[in-house]
């Protein structure tokens, strides 16, 4: 099996490529990052001879730091990456995997060359995502700009690709609800690096709710601040780990206090230590695909409190076993679940122990690699079956 992986950005493309490389199935990784970043910044091990880079990540990150606001600042670099990747599709490839929003030309070229084309969508169906976010921003009274060019491109990518790869049951449901045939959808949950994420000693007895990720309306940070403030719990803290966007600043001002700590962006090397100081990991997202930080927190021994829209249900074996799921967008339900966990710390600790065991047994990157490689082989076997054409495989 010869597979090409293309992505403008990181997401979990490097982990996918690493697993394919370890199995001898990676033909090439086409990335926007300099080669040296993969080992230094992301701690992934891929044969450098299989990596092709256009260095556009430098432009993507620079545009993101500009003081003026664009609806979709990375659109142009993503198109350049797509053109670069399309030129690296060769007729010896069997599968071409491209991330949504930066792979339309690449997917078309894969079809032309006779490879199976797979588009990876890390979130819900783009139209569902836009609908959820528009409603959420309207409720908060914050302007929301739809990136129309990216939406149009992603819809075209869904139509061009032979298969759409998602990483959660939630994301898959949104594609089916939007009319995508279920047989066109691949679903495989991602994993966690257990060498990097493991429990560290907790320094005190404070009951602590920990959130990690960009502080945004999309991720429900405003709802978490409201829920925690509403409870007024003694001897409890809320830690927010991640960059704070302008849209969340008014909510931080409204709910600020000595029990709310904002850490800002933190290096991955420090994240496990910070997570381990928590009692519960909370992710109240309104829309995600499958937030990997949930598995990272579970690997540090924390129970998970999430919404169905985080994809976190796929990490849990059942309600109340390794964590709790509450409806998305419901601050009252979130507060009730937080109060219950705070009021039963022994039960929360036991959930955390089970959470660690759960991810260690089934949600490592190695387990993800075995599952996705088996899926790819199955797609190729179906294609080779008598009476199955390339167009319908």
157 pLDDT tier (thresholds 50, 70, 90): very high
Question: What pLDDT score does 256 carry?
Answer: 86
Name residue, tokens 């993507």.
Answer: 60
pTM higher than 0.85 = yes
3-state DSSP call for residue 98?
A: strand
Question: Average pLDDT, stretch 355-372?
Answer: 94
3-state DSSP call for residue 357?
A: helix
> What backbone phi and psi angles, to 5 degrees, belong to 316?
-105, 140
d(CA 24, CA 4): 12
The secondary structure element, H or E, covering residue 338 is: helix 331-343
- Report the share of the chain in percent with pLDDT over 90: 82
- Greatest mean pLDDT among 37-41, 250-254, 389-393 lies in 250-254
- Give yes or no for a contact between 219 and 225, defined as CB atoms under 8 angstroms apart: no
96 pLDDT tier (thresholds 50, 70, 90): very high
Q: Which residues belong to CATH 3.40.50.2000 in the chain?
A: 3-191+365-384, 207-362
Nearest to 300 by CA among 353, 240, 238: 353
Question: Average pLDDT, stretch 128-143?
Answer: 96
Q: Is the pLDDT of residue 69 over 60?
A: no
- Give yes or no for a contact between 121 and 289, defined as CB atoms under 8 angstroms apart: yes
Q: Structure tokens of 352?
A: 């955390």
> What backbone phi and psi angles, to 5 degrees, belong to 60?
-60, -45
Question: What pLDDT score does 70 carry?
Answer: 53
The secondary structure element, H or E, covering residue 373 is: helix 365-384
What's the chain's average pLDDT?
92
Question: Average pLDDT, stretch 91-103?
Answer: 97
Return all residues near 387 (Cβ < 8 A) that are at least 6 apart.
Answer: none
d(CA 115, CA 15): 22
3-state DSSP call for residue 247?
A: helix
> What backbone phi and psi angles, to 5 degrees, belong to 212?
-135, 135
- The superfamily (CATH) of domain 207-362 is Glycogen Phosphorylase B; (3.40.50.2000)
d(CA 4, CA 113): 13
Question: What pLDDT score does 231 carry?
Answer: 95
d(CA 186, CA 169): 10
R_g of the chain, CA atoms, integer Å: 21
Nearest to 287 by CA among 122, 56, 94: 122
Class of domain 3-191+365-384 as given by CATH: alpha beta
73 pLDDT tier (thresholds 50, 70, 90): confident
Q: Structure tokens of 101?
A: 């929003």
Name residue, tokens 């990335």.
Answer: 31
Pairing assessment for the beta strands 207-212 and 185-187 based on DSSP bridges: unpaired
- Report the share of the chain in percent with pLDDT over 70: 95
d(CA 385, CA 393): 9
- Please, what sign has the CA dihedral across residues 377, 382, 383, 384? positive
Q: Is the pLDDT of residue 223 over 50?
A: yes
64 pLDDT tier (thresholds 50, 70, 90): low
The secondary structure element, H or E, covering residue 294 is: helix 293-299
Question: What pLDDT score does 392 carry?
Answer: 47
d(CA 385, CA 45): 35
Question: Average pLDDT, stretch 63-88?
Answer: 79
Question: What pLDDT score does 388 carry?
Answer: 47
Q: Structure tokens of 22?
A: 């370890």
- Please, what sign has the CA dihedral across residues 351, 355, 356, 358? positive
Question: Average pLDDT, stretch 189-217?
Answer: 94
Q: Is the pLDDT of residue 389 over 50?
A: no
Question: Average pLDDT, stretch 131-137?
Answer: 97
Question: What pLDDT score does 267 carry?
Answer: 86
d(CA 15, CA 329): 31
């Amino acid at each position: 099996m010869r597979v090409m992986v293309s992505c403008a950005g990181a997401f979990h493309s490097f982990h996918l490529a690493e697993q394919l490389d370890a199995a001898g199935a990676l033909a090439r990784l086409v990335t926007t990052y300099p080669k040296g970043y993969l080992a230094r910044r992301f701690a992934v091990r891929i044969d450098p001879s299989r990596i092709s880079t256009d260095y556009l990540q430098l432009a993507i990150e620079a545009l993101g730091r500009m003081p003026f606001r664009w609806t979709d600042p990375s659109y142009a670099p993503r198109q350049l990456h797509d053109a670069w990747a399309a030129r690296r599709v060769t007729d010896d490839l069997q599968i071409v995997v491209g991330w949504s929003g930066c792979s339309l030309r690449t997917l078309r070229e894969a079809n032309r060359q006779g490879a199976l084309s797979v588009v990876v969508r890390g979130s819900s169906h783009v139209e569902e995502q836009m609908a959820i976010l528009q409603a959420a921003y309207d409720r908060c009274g914050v302007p929301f700009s739809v990136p129309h060019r990216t939406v149009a491109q992603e819809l075209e990518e869904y139509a061009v690709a032979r298969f759409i790869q998602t990483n959660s049951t939630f994301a898959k449901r949104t594609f089916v609800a939007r009319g995508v045939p279920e047989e066109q959808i691949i679903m495989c949950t991602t994993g966690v690096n257990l060498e990097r994420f493991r429990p560290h000693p907790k320094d005190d007895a404070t009951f602590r709710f920990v959130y990690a990720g960009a502080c945004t309306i999309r991720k429900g940070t405003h709802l978490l601040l409201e829920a925690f403030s509403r409870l007024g719990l003694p001897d409890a803290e809320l830690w927010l780990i991640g960059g704070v966007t302008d849209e969340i600043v008014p909510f931080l001002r409204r709910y600020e206090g000595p029990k709310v700590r904002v850490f800002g962006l933190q290096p991955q090397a420090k994240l496990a230590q910070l997570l381990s100081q928590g009692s519960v990991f909370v992710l109240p997202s309104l829309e995600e695909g499958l937030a990997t930080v949930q598995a990272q927190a579970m690997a540090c021994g924390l129970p998970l409190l999430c919404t169905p829209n985080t994809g976190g249900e796929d990490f849990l074996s059942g309600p109340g076993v390794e964590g709790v799921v509450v409806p998305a967008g419901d601050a009252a339900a979130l507060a009730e679940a937080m109060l219950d966990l705070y009021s039963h710390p022994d039960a929360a600790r036991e959930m955390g122990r089970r959470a660690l065991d759960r991810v260690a047994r089934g949600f490592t990157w190695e387990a993800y690699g075995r599952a996705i490689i088996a899926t790819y082989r199955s797609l190729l076997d179906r294609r080779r079956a008598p009476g199955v054409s390339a167009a319908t495989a």
